[in-house]
Amino acid sequence: MRVLAAMSGGVDSAVAAARAVDAGHDVVGVHMALSRSRAQHRNGSRGCCSIEDAGDARRAADVLGIPYYVWDLSEEFEETVVGDFLSEYAAGRTPNPCVRCNEHIKFSALLDRGLALGFDAVATGHYARIEVAGGGRRELHRSADPLKDQSYVLAVMGPERLARSLFPLGDAPSKEAVRAEAAARGLSVSAKPDSYDICFVADGDTQGFLRDRLGAKPGEVVDADGKVLGEHDGAYAYTVGQRKGLGLTRPAADGRPRYVLEVRPQSNQIVVGPSELLSVDEISAGKTVWLADDVPAGEWTDVQVQVRAHGEPVPAQVRRRPADDGAGATGTGEAVSNVGGAGAAAAGADGARDGGALEARLSTPLRGIAPGQSLVVYSGTRVLGQSTITRARRGAPLPA
């Protein structure tokens, strides 16, 4: 096959490209330039888009003896990833930019360009496995190394893109083994540190980035009964479950810490309260993408769900709903409420994909679930689908 290897400049993508070459594919390396910001591309940037990364990727391609190109995808990245990040926070939701980048850039813009140029597939350095089941059906599974598994952020890609993807590191036992392999191959990136933080927030200050882009919008901090406790400079800077940075000068009557329970963008209010009100056991979600065609619609199915990239999966029951039945969305645009009948509105949704909506009932309550987070459905190691959380609530009463 003709394979386009996405080379970020890190050790994972370099070894993935090398394994694709070993597998006999006709491989071409490409580095995606995702920003025109000088700050983001400076040496020593904390994310995966620093200026040295393109050079590291080129040197790796030279060692592998494959052609190498840099593609400017900065316009697509700004519109689909950075734009989504800003609009989601402005709407009181908590997005995952890595999910959006995989959806819109690595497995849409990059893949589409590759297919147009005659490539058959894209290979990346993600830690995930593709297994071929009966009838040739391709399934996305967790990687062999549970500590590095990235299936959570890949679940949004959909079956068509999965069919055109290769994850050569899926069977790697550990990151240390990948580094050792890189060193044995003579790749200079073998000891390069992992990227971290949000790649387009060069200094790691997410709140400062949001403030610069969205501006100051002072509002009230209130408790679950609507009592004003303080002020904030912008509701977008807060997320459900947050404890620090609330700026409250008076402690709670019982002396216990307060947490963000809800973000209300329409009224520009932050609702805070005790930790037990963060626990939820029912989740509604929309814009669902299914990788499995064997999950029946309208029926409760026993699965596991995961709501954070490095979170633990919990047993749950999920039910698929058609796109037009309105499940999980009210159209109000308000954020999630975990505070019962405290005057909060339910979360809105941007509309559903063909996969429709999703409901989940958790066997174990989870804390701090925010609208905008990605909910990924598993059956063992297999990824069944992904949906964007619109509302989380407690169905069972709190213990007395």
Query: pLDDT per residue over 180-225, tens digit each?
Result: 999 999 999 999 988 766 788 877 788 889 989 999 899 999 998 9
**Residues assigned a catalytic role:** 101, 199
Q: Which of 200, 142, 183 is nearest to 377 (CA)?
A: 142
Domains and CATH numbers, the chain: 2-191 (3.40.50.620), 216-400 (2.40.30.10)
344 alpha carbon, distance to own chain's centre:
26
3-state secondary structure (DSSP) of residue 172: coil
Structure confidence at residue 337 as a pLDDT band (50, 70, 90) = very low
Neighbours of 315 (CB within 10 A): 12
Query: pLDDT per residue over 59-101, tens digit each?
Result: 999 999 999 999 988 899 999 999 999 999 999 899 889 899 8
Output b/e per residue, 192-221; b: 16+ Cβ within 10 A.
Answer: beebeebbbbbeeeeeebbbeebeeeebbb
- Global pTM reads 0.86
Q: Say whether pLDDT at 23 is over 50.
A: yes
Structure confidence at residue 196 (pLDDT): 66
- Per-residue tokens: 209: 């980035």
Query: pLDDT per residue over 129-178, tens digit each?
Result: 999 988 888 999 999 999 999 999 999 999 999 999 999 999 999 999 99
Structure confidence at residue 348 (pLDDT): 32
Average pLDDT over residues 280-304: 92
